[in-house]
Amino acid sequence: DSGVTQTPKHLITATGQRVTLRCSPRSGDLSVYWYQQSLDQGLQFLIQYYNGEERAKGNILERFSAQQFPDLHSELNLSSLELGDSALYFCASSVDGPTYNEQFFGPGTRLTVL
Amino acid sequence: AQSVTQLGSHVSVSEGALVLLRCNYSSSVPPYLFWYVQYPNQGLQLLLKYTSAATLVKGINGFEAEFKKSETSFHLTKPSAHMSDAAEYFCAVSPFTGNQFYFGTGTSLTVIP
């Protein structure tokens, strides 16, 4: 158990809909990262938040957005869903300090868009 | 720019045989390097990490990796494969500054009894 929690575990929805994925980082970790894992694209970095502020952006679509709240949990919002958005979405967290820190991954949310 | 190349998307070894999973990185500065393992229907778990200390890094479950700057490689090895090692393995690189990870495309390891 990494200490990172993600809800829900599974999500099934229809095209055009909007969903919210939630992530709670490990206690004490200030950074949260979101990744998308699909069969054709592999593991892709979407976005990073540090202590409530966006720090780095990867291959995140404009239809997707994220935020990190004062209690450090994070939400990833996916809108106007398409079939191709079906994937595993992982959240990771790290302490983040002057030296490099590893990322701890949650169990993921499996999104199926029908 | 950072990038990682994992040679071989699928590797099969016999139980008890040597496991060698290859990872080459591209980085303008000496990076931090990681190997993660993903078991079916689970998240990623850190196997080991290189952070500019010893070049031979030992990880969990008997795995180790050697950082070779001249070859820009960070190959993962295990002397004797076990059935429980069957999983997807990801190599990742991170620059000295910032925490953004760049993952390789993964190598699926099959262990044949």
For the stretch B38-83, pLDDT in tens is 998 888 999 999 887 788 999 999 999 999 988 999 999 999 999 9
User: When comparing pLDDT for A91 and B53, which is higher?
Assistant: A91
When pLDDT is averaged across residues A15-38 and rounded to a whole number, the result is 95
- pLDDT of B14 > 90? The answer is yes
User: When comparing pLDDT for A100 and B23, which is higher?
Assistant: B23
Counting beta carbons within 10 angstroms of the beta carbon of residue B77, is it exposed (0 to 12), middle (13 to 18) or buried (19 or more)?
A: middle
For the four alpha carbons of A48, B97, B25 and B85, in that order, the dihedral sign comes to: negative
Distance from CA of A49 to the nearest CA of B (A): 11
State which residue of chain B sits closest to A57, comparing Cα positions: B100
**Is B99–A31 a contact, with Cβ atoms under 8 angstroms apart?**
yes
Question: At B6, phi and psi to the nearest 5?
Answer: -105, 115
- pLDDT of A85 > 60? The answer is yes
Interface test with A, best of B5, B38, B44 (most A CBs within 10 A): B44
